[in-house]
Each structure stands twice: as C-alpha cells, then as structure tokens.
Structure 1
Amino acid sequence: MTNSIALVINTYQQAHFLSASIESGLAQTVPFDEIIVVDDGSTDNPASVVARYPAVRLVTQPNAGLGAARNTGLKACSSSYIVFLDADDLLMPNAARAGLTCHALNPPAGLVYGAHRRIGTQGEPLGGDVYSEMGIDAFRTFLTGNVIGMHATVVYDRLKLCDIGAFDASLPRCEDYDVYFRMATKHPVRSHSEVVALYRWHGQNMSADPSVMLKWVLCINDRQRAFTAGTVLLEDERLLGRRVWVRYYKDEMVSDLKRGYRAQKALVSVTRNLRFAKIATFEVGRWFIHRLERVYRRRAKSPSCN
C-alpha cells in the first residue's frame, strides 16, 4: 500500500477511554488506511467498544505487555507508515497529515515526530505545547534525554521499524525510547512542530511511578554503552544523560510525594522516594568516579616538567 498509513491502538483495562481514542483516529483530515485495536488480555470487554466501529479491526492476545502488543499490531498491518496510540490518549485531527508530510520531505527518515499537549482525565488542558527539535545527530540527542516525549506523536516507516527489530517485548517500560536509539543508529530521525497528540494524565499511567521509570530509562542508557564506550565524547554524553534523567525524575518524585499526601497515600509515595533515593545515590557516585578518572587520565597524559 504505497504511502498508506495505519493506526494501532493498544489497550489493557482501558475500555472506558477506548471509544475516544478510536474516534480521534477516525476524525483525521487525511484518513488512516487501517485502524487496528490490539487488546492485550483485558478483562473489561474492549470488544464491545470496537464493535461500534465497523472500520476498526480488533486483534486479541493474552496479556504480554505493551511492547508485545505493539509488535502484534505491527504484524497485523500492511501500510507504509504506522502510528501507535495508547487507548487513554488522543490524536489531533492533523496527526496523519502532518506525519506523512514530514516523511515526504524526509524520505530516508525511519521516524518523524511532532509536538503534544497534556490533558486531564476529562480532557482539560494541563499545560502548553511540548516540543523539542531533533539535533543534528539523533543518537547523541537521545543520549541526554527523550526529546520525543510522547510516543503517539511518532509516525514510523513501517519497513524500517521492522528492519531494526521492532519493539523489545522484554522491556516492561521505555520500549519506545529503546526503539528510538536503535532507529537513530540506522536511519535519520526528523521532526515538525505541529501539535499532533494529547497525552492524558490520569494518575494510573505507566509512567506514574518515577522510581520505576528511572530504573528502566537508565537500563536503556546502559545499552548504549556498546556504541559509546570507544569514544570519550559519546561516553561523557551518555553519563551526562544519566544525571539529566536523575534530575528530571527528582522533580517528578517531588510532585508524586505532594500528590500522595493530598490523596492520603503518603506511605506509597515515601516508599517510591526511598527506591528513587537508592538509585540516585548510586548514579551520583558513578558520575563522581567518572570525573576523577577523567582528571587522572588528563594528568597522566600531561608532559612532566623537569
């Protein structure tokens, strides 16, 4: 299907949001050629929701996690390009058009992405546009942070996504960040500034626990050492990225603690804080040792004065 585009909506226990996400896919100014809902072993009957939309296909699987569900959707479609949308999020009407336009301007790109906004449970706005432009070297840009921010803003070249091995189903978190790195080592990554998706924040999101997110984002960072270990500059940037992530999730941790006290769930938040503090302390120590090693190597290479 030349220049066709598919939408894969992944759902797990989110049938109450599913209708809105499907309708946001059906409301595109450039229609999706395929819309596929992948039910990852839900017990809340998403099939009854999908049945109301004849143009939407349902694929079911036993619960296997988000990465596996996305791979199932990837295998089920045949379009040239593909978008992945979580059932609790929404697309703007221009999402497919903006992504296809950006790909047309950048034919070698493995993926392109745009901007997003955060909304609350009822769709209320929670801030302005979120967008960071991709740097000249996508791999180096990803080393110090996930500039994409929201997966639904991404439009993949389907064949190139298959070429890099699709999603790692063994990862319980950050499987999208892992794909970005692998894509950046083989294909260009490009962006545009149009707002194309709405990220619904409802407190039950997979990213709601900062300590768990920090653990897995650092795991993805660790994987990049295979590409950075032989280059001092890249290894410095990889380790800088770990500090950036600690600072980012520190702020998220403070917000989580405040929400926990307001919701009378302080014990849960404190437990998360303790897990976070353990990881953060280790990372600070790692960075300090790295800096000492750099100073020692520079002094060892300096000519001695007699």
Structure 2
Amino acid sequence: MLKPVHSNYSEGNQGNHKYPLVSIIIPYYMHEKFIAETVWSAKNQSYPNTEIIVVDDGSPEPPDRAINNIPGIKLIRTENLGCPGARNIGFNHSSGEYLIFLDGDDVLLPGAIEAHLAALADAPAACLSFGSVRIIDKDGHEKRKARICAPRKNYFLMLLEHNPIASPGSMMLRRKPFVEVGLYDPNLRYFPDDYELLLRLARRYDFVQHSVCVLEYRRHSTNVSGDQEAILTGTLAVLDSLEKREKFTPDLRRRIEHGRRRWIHQCRPKDELGYHLRSIYYRGRELWNIPFRNLFSDNF
C-alpha cells in the first residue's frame, strides 16, 4: 500500500494563483481492498493545490474503514447511480479548474498532474490531456508496460475506430468544456460512459497527448473491461446513438460504419490469416491521421 509522502511544495504555495485547483474525483463501489491505495496515490501528488472527493455509490461495503485515517478528503454518499452518475455527483461538489476522474481501484502515478498541466499549457485549445497507462494485476504487479499513443490530427475520427485513452484516470479535463458538453451520461450507468463522453468532447474540441505514464490501471476479475462482448455491445450502441443524434455528412457516416467493423474486429480476435491481414489494413488506415513527424516513432 502507498504511504503518505511529503510534498515538494511548501504549504504557503497552496493558495498561489500559479497553482490552479485540481479536483480528483473518485467513484467508489465495492473496491474496499484497493480504495486506500487509490486515495493515497492522489494525496501523494507533489502538486500543491488539489481536492480529493470520494463518492460512495451506494456500495454495500462502505469505504470508511479503509480511508478513515486519510486526512483532507471529502466523502460523499449517494444511492447507487452507477459510475457516470457518481462521477457527476462528485463533480457537482468540486471547485477545480481541472478535473481528474480516478477509478477506485487504480493508482495515479507521481508527477501525473504536472505532466497534464504542462501538456495543456502548450495546447490552449485542447479540452483534455492524456498520458500512457501501465496495466497491473490485483496485487499491483505489472501485466503490460505503458504504451504511448502517437498524436492524431483528428481525435474524433480516431475514436470512431479505436480508443487508446485506456481509462478516465489517464486524462485531465478542463472544467468548462466538460460542463458545455453536458457531463457524463447517467443513463449509461457503466461502460462505455467514458467513451461516449470522449466522442462528445472530440466533436467540439481538440485533445493533446503526452508521453508520461500517469496511471496504473488495475485489471482483476470484476473489471467490465475484461468482457470483450460487453465492450462491443456498449460501443456499437454509442455509435448508433451518435449517428441518430448528429447530422453527419455521407463521408462521416461511412467512417462510422467502418468504425463499427473495426470495433467488431478488435473485440472478436481470431487466429487466422484473414484476421491478421485485416489488422494490418486497419493499422495502415490510421497513418493518415498521424502527423508526419510522428510517423516513424514506435508510438501508435
């Protein structure tokens, strides 16, 4: 378990206008084994001006025993709304100019806030920044090294086919764009609430990526992300809803249909020549959306 560390900044800096408030919002539901480590990872950030809000989403296992010795956090209780609703409740109790939605079983890595803020400072038109993610198991052992996503010219078109933003905890949002697109959709309750939000954001704003690994994403038996059929069903439903809601050009409608086919391909892997050839085709199609200067890097 993570232990508290001393900040590199003095207490006197916490009210300084140079350090805008960052709200870290953590929905909690039956992650008592992990929630203390998650909260400590937020508390241990060296950035001096944060607020941490834990939202108990009507869990039958309240987080009190695990986090009652962690000072300076705000605990909010609500009926079971599902993760999107709990995130919105946490947001409504927040004041930060910047937002991180951290799942209750993941770990925010040291320096994550500074990395996000630096990226956003270089991209004032971007509504969010995102970094890379390392996959860990239930005991915290690395299962997959961090993979860095190459920049894209158009993040909306990228998302129609592929979502490299592995977890909400790997990104930082500006508050105003999040409000303008209408927060998380509480009707989704669970996956793919973050994907649906990203599509709405990318339709109106730019994103910015950076190469810093900011999150350890914990993969265990209760992750929805391990159920590929659930991912596919939810993703296709979001794309269907998007197409009905928006007025798209014929070209964009073709891209959405192509995106459906690629999501089906990704979520139903096969060990056959045709599948591997289509994988090469889909990866090749992405090259037009990557800036030329990044084409020859190892990132994708």
TM-score, structure 1 as length reference: 0.78
Whether 1:218 and 2:236 are equivalent positions in the alignment is yes
Q: Could you say which residue in structure 2 is the equivalent of 1:103?
A: 120
Whether 1:238 and 2:229 are equivalent positions in the alignment is no
Whether 1:170 and 2:187 are equivalent positions in the alignment is yes
Question: Size of the alignment, in residue pairs?
Answer: 253
What is the aligned counterpart of 1:126 among 136, 143, 154? Answer: 143
Spell out the pairing of 1:241-256 with structure 2 (5 A cutoff).
241-251=259-269
Superposition misfits of 4+ residues, deviation over 6 angstroms:
none
In 2: Cα distance, 1:142 partner to 1:152 partner: 17
Q: Could you say which residue in structure 2 is the equivalent of 1:196?
A: 214
In 2: Cα distance, 1:227 partner to 1:30 partner: 40
Q: Could you say which residue in structure 1 is the equivalent of 2:293?
A: none
- The question of whether the paired residues in 1 share the 8 Å contact of 2:56 and 2:62 is answered with no
Deviation at 1:229, TM superposition (A): 6.0
Q: Match of 2:149, SS?
A: coil
TM-align CA RMSD: 1.8
1:21-72: CA deviation from partner (whole Å, max 9, x where unpaired): 0111111121451011011001212022232111111011010100000001
Structure 1 letter corresponding to 2:226: A
1:3-24: CA deviation from partner (whole Å, max 9, x where unpaired): 2211111110111110100111
Q: Unpaired runs of 5+ in structure 1?
A: 255-306
Bigger shift: residues 62-71 or 231-240 = 231-240
TM-score, structure 2 as length reference: 0.80
For the pair shown, which has the larger CA radius of gyration, 1 or 2? 1
- The question of whether the paired residues in 1 share the 8 Å contact of 2:224 and 2:230 is answered with no
- The question of whether the paired residues in 2 share the 8 Å contact of 1:67 and 1:168 is answered with yes
Q: Match of 1:16, SS?
A: coil
In 1: Cα distance, 2:125 partner to 2:41 partner: 28
Identity score, percent: 29
Structure 2 letter corresponding to 1:187: Y
- The question of whether the paired residues in 2 share the 8 Å contact of 1:228 and 1:238 is answered with no
Whether 1:56 and 2:73 are equivalent positions in the alignment is yes
Q: Could you say which residue in structure 1 is the equivalent of 2:38?
A: 21
- The question of whether the paired residues in 1 share the 8 Å contact of 2:24 and 2:53 is answered with yes
What is the aligned counterpart of 1:141 among 134, 138, 158? Answer: 158
Whether 1:84 and 2:101 are equivalent positions in the alignment is yes
Spell out the pairing of 1:2-17 with structure 2 (5 A cutoff).
3-17=20-34
- The question of whether the paired residues in 1 share the 8 Å contact of 2:133 and 2:147 is answered with yes
Q: CA, structure 1 residues 37+228, in 2 after alignment: closer, same or farther (shift >3 Å)?
A: closer
Write 1 or 2 for the structure with the bigger share of helix.
Answer: 1
Q: Could you say which residue in structure 1 is the equivalent of 2:51?
A: 34
Spell out the pairing of 1:239-278 with structure 2 (5 A cutoff).
239-251=257-269
